[in-house]
Structure 1
């Protein structure tokens, strides 16, 4: 059973079950729904992460590992983590060489300072407590480490904003019925996109969680955005 409405009080087990249901055709559905733009966005994220061999990358909400593969293929140590066991199983079936790990973004099962980079793509809006997650991302990254968040955002061109809201988002559930194994879940996902904060508001939340040098770059006119941040050189108390 998938949640019927997006809200600030998401039930994690319901969201996990929803992703379990869509795991098998999730990547295909995303490609169809975005017209293939998702591949361009993921390449932009990989460039923003700029991981080098020898660095450790934590890829949160990695799903089936599609977002993790570019790092692994370049010899970067990457840990794909997700709270959906269905996604992890599908990912391991495809790429048994990757260390898929079950993880709750709000309470990660990793030691302090374990990673050089934490990244999450199109998953932060599905976390029940976004601020707690951002603080825990900071905990597991080394001092001076990096955060890269890619998420749906608010189009910055008025005409694009209208078309996106009135045409694209309204059409997503109907298109999903043709390609997804659980089309009702895309009603929920569409609502999370509409409720998600804009670029500036998300940047403020990242900064409030303790990250520094917060900035963002729009993708496709602001339909999505990549937020960058850097951990303090010396760890401070977490609130």
Structure 2
């Protein structure tokens, strides 16, 4: 079993996700108390994929997150650097064009996607700003990005309860349902080290994205950041 460190070395993180691929979606549903399904619906609304558009779903894992885009008639490319996740996804959705790729060096030409999105993956990239620049590079002028990531609850008392859950309750629950519970200790640590809503917005602006805005979900446990390439 593998647990990545907060240095986020690509091989460590990829191996960690390889270990949890088979039970990843089920474990996430349990640990989020069912909220992951709501979050995916909100991401799909924000991306607003349309027939014949090209959509990049980065850090797609098993491509569960890609299905709402595909159902609109868009051409969706699920991309991830965990081969274990990609293999599990291909087993489930053999028709999808799964692509292995590092977020900091995407294997795509310039300006090919109408929309790019990454859910709960930017936090795991060794250089998140380089990933944001790469996502901008592969997006067409006028195209859009949606980033769904854990953030800071906006209500103080709830924030305290949430942080206690992350560090005290999440690891034992993960031990009961996950094939690699240590990976979820990393999950808790990486969430606490991640910038808040305003901090991520500033990071996106530094990387060239325009009209950056965000919306809180579940009281700020998760935030949807949206922007445009001009």
TM norm structure 1: 0.94
Aligned match of 1:204: 202
Taking the aligned partners of 1:4 and 1:19, their CA distance within structure 2 comes to: 9
Taking the aligned partners of 1:12 and 1:5, their CA distance within structure 2 comes to: 10
**Relative to structure 1, is the Cα distance of residues 39 and 90 closer, same or farther in structure 2, using a 3 angstrom cutoff?**
same
**Are the aligned partners of 2:166 and 2:188 in contact in 1 as well (CA < 8 Å)?**
no
**One of 107, 117, 120 as aligned partner of 2:118:** 120
**One of 13, 16, 35 as aligned partner of 1:15:** 13
Alpha-carbon distance, 1:167 to partner: 2.7
Q: How does 1:120-199 map to 2 (within 5 A)?
A: 120-199=118-197
Greater mean alpha carbon deviation, residues 164-173 or residues 200-209: 164-173
**One of 215, 226, 229 as aligned partner of 1:228:** 226
SS in 2 for 1:92: helix
Taking the aligned partners of 2:197 and 2:167, their CA distance within structure 1 comes to: 19
Taking the aligned partners of 2:39 and 2:33, their CA distance within structure 1 comes to: 12
List runs of 5+ in structure 2 lacking aligned partners: none
Q: For 1:152-183, what per-residue CA distance to the aligned partner results, in whole angstroms no more than 9, with x for missing partners?
A: 00000001101000134421111011111111
Aligned match of 2:2: 2
Q: How does 1:213-224 map to 2 (within 5 A)?
A: 213-224=211-222
Calculate the aligned-residue CA RMSD, in Å: 0.9
Alpha-carbon distance, 1:68 to partner: 0.2
**Are the aligned partners of 1:5 and 1:191 in contact in 2 as well (CA < 8 Å)?**
no
Taking the aligned partners of 2:26 and 2:49, their CA distance within structure 1 comes to: 26
Alpha-carbon distance, 1:4 to partner: 5.3
Alpha-carbon distance, 1:229 to partner: 0.4
Q: How many residues align?
A: 230
Alpha-carbon distance, 1:75 to partner: 1.2
Q: Does 1:67 align with 2:61?
A: no
Alpha-carbon distance, 1:10 to partner: 1.6
List runs of 5+ in structure 1 lacking aligned partners: 233-239
**Are the aligned partners of 2:18 and 2:85 in contact in 1 as well (CA < 8 Å)?**
yes
SS in 2 for 1:42: helix
**Relative to structure 1, is the Cα distance of residues 4 and 16 closer, same or farther in structure 2, using a 3 angstrom cutoff?**
closer
Aligned match of 1:37: 35
**Are the aligned partners of 1:4 and 1:187 in contact in 2 as well (CA < 8 Å)?**
no
Q: For 1:116-138, what per-residue CA distance to the aligned partner results, in whole angstroms no more than 9, with x for missing partners?
A: 00100000000000000000000
